[in-house]
Amino acid sequence: MPLIVDLVNPDLALMLPQLIVLGLAILLLVADIAVPKARHGVVLTWMALIGMGAALIANFTMVGTNESTFNGMFRADDFSVFINLVVLSGAILSIMVSSSYLEGHIEAGSMPLAEYYVLLSFSVLGTMIVGASGDLLMIFLGIEMSSLAVYALTGFARQRVSSLEGALKYFLLGLFASAILVYGMAWTYGATGSTNLNDIARSLSGVVTDGKVEASLLLALLLLIVGLGFKVAAVPFHMWTPDAYEGAPTPVSAYMSVIPKVAGFAAMTRILVQGLGPLRDEWVILIGVLAVITMAFGNIVAVSQRNVKRMLAYSSIGHTGYILAGLAAFETINPNGEISVASVLFYLFAYAFMNIGAFAIVTWLQARGSGTDLEDFAGLGSRSPLAALAMAVFMLSLMGLPPLVGFYGKYYVILATIEADMVWLAVAIVLASAVSAFFYLRVIATMYFSEPVRETPRTSTPLLGFGLVSMVAGTVLLGIFSSRVLDLASDWVQAFSVPI
C-alpha cells in the first residue's frame, strides 16, 4: 500500500521553515501565560524576532531542493524558497516596526502584544504554505490561514471605530472573494479531474494543441482571477483596501500591504503559471488589462489623498498593477531567459522593503504623538533630518528612481513586457509612474520646503530605528545587487518544469 507509506513517512525536513514558524506561534501562546506581564514587551518581541530569523536561516538551507511530500500537496522548491525569503524578511521588519507602537499601548491594555505576534506568525505561516503548495486545496488553506489572521489584526485597535470598520469591510469582502476563489477551484477540478497543479498542467497540455478551450475551463479561469484579484487588491476588486489600510493600526497596515499581497501573487503564480500555464493565451490578456486598470486607478486616485496612510494604500494598489504586468508578460516555462515570473518575485521583494519602510516612518511619527496627514510631515527635514532622509529614500524608491531598488523592480517588469511583445503594457507602466511621481514628491516637498507646524518630541524607539536603518540599507543595496537577487528568483523555472 504505497499510499499509507507516503502518509506515514512524510518528509518533514522539507517543511523546516514552516514548522519553525508554527512552533514559534505555539510558543508565543505559551509564553503569554508563562511570562509575567511586565516583561512581555522584551521577551515576546525577541522571541518573535529570533523565531523568524531561525526560519529564515533554515530557508536558506533549502535552496536548490525540488521535492514534494504529502502526496504532492506540499512542495519545497526554489519558488517556495524565494517566497519564504520575502515573507520572512517582511515579517521581521514588521515586528521591528510593531514593537514600539504596541508597547506604547500596553498600558491602556487595548492591544495585547502576545496575541498580536501569534496572529502575525499564523498569517506568515499561511503565506509560506501558499508559496510551498502543489495543490489547489493547500493554496486555499494557506490563503485562508493568512487572511483570517490579518482580518483580526486589522481590527486590533478595537477601541477605535475606524479600525473595526476597516476590519469588517475587509472581512466581508474577503469572505466573498474566498467563496469565488473556491468556486473557481471547483470548476478547475471539474474540467481537469485533479486538484494537483502538475496533474492539471498535464491534462491541459493536450487541450492547447487543439487551440480550442472549453467554456467550463474559461469560467474557472475567470473565477480564479477574480478571487485572487480581491486578495492582491487589483482594481475593480480593491474597494476594501483604503478603508482597511487607514483603519488598521499603522504597523498592521505595513504588514498587510505586503504579506497578504505576497500570498495572493504566490497563489496566482502557482495556479496560473504552474497549473494553467498551457492556457497562457487566455489569461495573459485578462491579467494584462487588469494590470493597466489597476495601475492607472491606483496612481490617479492617490494624487488627491491628503492622508499619508490612505495615499500609501492607493499607491500599493498601483504597485499591484506593476506586479500584475510582470505576470501578464508570461510566455512559457522556458529554462533560458524567461524573466516574467522572476520579475514578479523580484518586485515583491523590493516592494516589501520600501513599502514597510514608508509605513515605518508613519509609525515613527505616531510614536511621537503626530497624526498621519500630510501636514504632519511639514518641516520634518529640519525637525528630524534622519527620519526625513529615510522617508525620502522610500518615496524615491517607490517612485522608481535609478540607484534604488524600486527602479530595478520596474526595470525588470518593463523588460519582461517588452520581451513578450507587449509594448502597450510597458508604456502604461511608464505613464503610471509619471503620475505617481506627483504624490511621492509632494511628501518630500512637504518635508523639506514647508514650515514645521509642531515639534517632534524625543522618544526612544531603538528597535524601530534599527528596522528603519536596515530598510534604507535594503532599499539602496538590493538595487546594486539586483542581478544576484534576480538570479535567485530566476530559479523558479526549474521548480515549475513539469515532466509530461
Partner 1 sequence: MLQSYAIIGLMLLTAAVMGSSLLIVGRLIRPSNPNPTKLGVYESGVPQVSPPRARYTPRFYVVALLFVIFDIEAIFLYPWAVAFDALGLYGYIQAIVFISLLLAGLAYEWKKGALEWV
Least CB distance to partner 1 at residue 133 (A): 21
Least CB distance to partner 1 at residue 330 (A): 18
As beta bridge partners, residue 67 has 76
Cα–Cα distance measured from residue 162 to residue 164, given in angstroms and rounded to the nearest whole number: 5
Cα–Cα distance measured from residue 84 to residue 18, given in angstroms and rounded to the nearest whole number: 9
Least CB distance to partner 1 at residue 492 (A): 28
Which helix (H) or strand (E) segment holds residue 324: the answer is helix 308-328
Least CB distance to partner 1 at residue 36 (A): 12
Of 30, 42, 239, 289, the one binding partner 1 by CB under 8 A:
30
Query: Is residue 106 a contact point for partner 1 (CB under 8 A)?
Result: no
Least CB distance to partner 1 at residue 278 (A): 14
Of 13, 16, 29, 54, the one binding partner 1 by CB under 8 A:
29
Residues 270-299 that bind partner 1 (CB under 8 A): 282
Closer to partner 1 at the Cβ: 283 or 408? 283
Helix (H, G, I), strand (E, B) or coil at 43: helix
Query: Is residue 222 a contact point for partner 1 (CB under 8 A)?
Result: yes
Cα–Cα distance measured from residue 361 to residue 357, given in angstroms and rounded to the nearest whole number: 6
Q: Kindly state the cell numbers that stand for 324.
A: 500584475
Query: Is residue 483 a contact point for partner 1 (CB under 8 A)?
Result: no
Closer to partner 1 at the Cβ: 187 or 314? 187
Q: Where are the beta strands (DSSP E) in 22-102?
A: 67-69, 74-76
What are the residues whose beta carbons fall under 8 Å from the beta carbon of 407, sequence distance 6 or more?
A: 397, 400, 401, 479
Q: How far is CA 223 from the centre of its chain?
A: 21
The mark string for 355-374 relative to partner 1 (x by CB under 8 A, - otherwise) is: --------------------
Least CB distance to partner 1 at residue 131 (A): 23
Other Cβ atoms less than 10 A from the Cβ of 60: the count is: 11
Helix (H, G, I), strand (E, B) or coil at 68: strand
Cα–Cα distance measured from residue 40 to residue 49, given in angstroms and rounded to the nearest whole number: 14
Of 3, 4, 38, 500, the one binding partner 1 by CB under 8 A:
4
Query: Is residue 421 a contact point for partner 1 (CB under 8 A)?
Result: no
Closer to partner 1 at the Cβ: 222 or 415? 222
Sign of CA dihedral 331, 71, 77, 497: negative
Query: Is residue 33 a contact point for partner 1 (CB under 8 A)?
Result: yes
Query: Residue count at the site for partner 1 (CB under 8 A)?
Result: 15
Closer to partner 1 at the Cβ: 39 or 484? 39
Query: Is residue 32 a contact point for partner 1 (CB under 8 A)?
Result: yes
Contact in structure between 340 and 268 (CB atoms under 8 Å)? no
Of 26, 63, 179, 386, the one binding partner 1 by CB under 8 A:
26
Pairing of strands 74-76, 67-69: antiparallel
Least CB distance to partner 1 at residue 19 (A): 11
> What are the helix (H) ranges across 107-249?
113-131, 136-154, 161-192, 197-210, 215-232, 241-247
Enter the DSSP assignment of 155.
T
Q: Kindly state the cell numbers that stand for 91.
A: 515579517
Closer to partner 1 at the Cβ: 37 or 484? 37
Please identify, among the stretches 125-133, 210-218, 253-261, 467-475, the one whose residues bind partner 1 according to the rule CB under 8 A: 210-218
Contact in structure between 478 and 64 (CB atoms under 8 Å)? no
Closer to partner 1 at the Cβ: 4 or 38? 4
Q: Kindly state the cell numbers that stand for 16.
A: 523546516
Query: Is residue 455 a contact point for partner 1 (CB under 8 A)?
Result: no
Of 3, 9, 107, 483, the one binding partner 1 by CB under 8 A:
9
Cα–Cα distance measured from residue 96 to residue 75, given in angstroms and rounded to the nearest whole number: 30
Query: Is residue 208 a contact point for partner 1 (CB under 8 A)?
Result: no
Query: Is residue 108 a contact point for partner 1 (CB under 8 A)?
Result: no
User: Which positions touch partner 1 (CB under 8 A)?
Assistant: 4, 8-9, 26, 29-30, 32-33, 213-215, 218-219, 222, 282
